[in-house]
Copies of this chain bind each other. A is one copy, B any other.
Amino acid sequence: MVDLSLVKKYLPHIGLDLQEAFATEGVLKDVAAHTEILQEGQHVTMIPMVLEGLIKVYTRNEERELLLYYIEPSESCVMSFLAGIKNQPSKIFAVTEEPTKLLLLPSRSVEQWIQQFPRLNNLFYDLYNTRYSELIDTLNQLIFQKLDSRIFDYLKEKSRVKSTRILGLRHREIALELGTSREVITRVLKKLEKEGKIRQADNGIELL
């Protein structure tokens, strides 16, 4: 049970009927930064919607990771949705990257609302569309682009979701999220700096 005005504040675009449904059945949860919220193969009974903050979604293979996309405020996690509805294990990992406020919705209820509120159905299809496109973009980058441009695009996207041109990132972190190694990142960032695309200072990496 959540305060209706809160749902209205964070999700103004979904319509009153859905807002009321979410308020009645949803549960609020504040999650600290860097907390795992979805592990591979996990059983999912609540589908999260992000109200505030940022969630990072990635895949993993042994010690290597690969960033897939971010879940931003007013978005939900389609993989949780699938895992919830179909009762299938998730193939991906999700971690809060900032302190995050979640609205947890019982997957049973969501299943019902989907039938009941065409608008919600549409929201999910939209979200799928977005994720699908992002995955294809990532795929294209992986096979068609060199590391330089992959890293630069990564920095631009990071800058967008964080709303800042100065990114306080460790070379190690970047390496992990792109599935490569630290030395390589150091080298490529040096190169991007020489090309005048970024500047590295003590406070972080600045996009130019």
A residues neighboring B (CB under 8 Å): 59, 61-62, 64, 66, 68, 78-79, 82, 85-86, 88, 91-92, 114-115, 118, 121, 125-126, 128-129, 131-133, 135-140, 142-144, 179
Contacts and interface: CB of A to CB of B under 8 A. Distances in A.
Nearest to A144: B61
Contacts of A61: 140, 143-144
Nearest to A137: B91
Given A132-B131, A136-B59, A143 B179 contact: yes
A32 to B, nearest CB: 27
Contacts of A131: 132
A144 B180 CA distance: 10
16 contacts: A59-B136, A61-B143, A61-B144, A64-B144, A66-B140, A79-B132, A86-B126, A91-B136, A91-B137, A114-B121, A128-B132, A132-B135, A138-B139, A139-B139, A142-B142, A144-B179
Nearest to A134: B135
A66 B139 contact: yes
B129 A86 contact: yes
The majority secondary structure among interface residues of chain A is helix
Contact of A88 (B129, B139, B144): B129
Most buried by B among A64, A137, A143: A143
A79 B129 CA distance: 8
A141 to B, nearest CB: 10
A179 B132 CA distance: 20
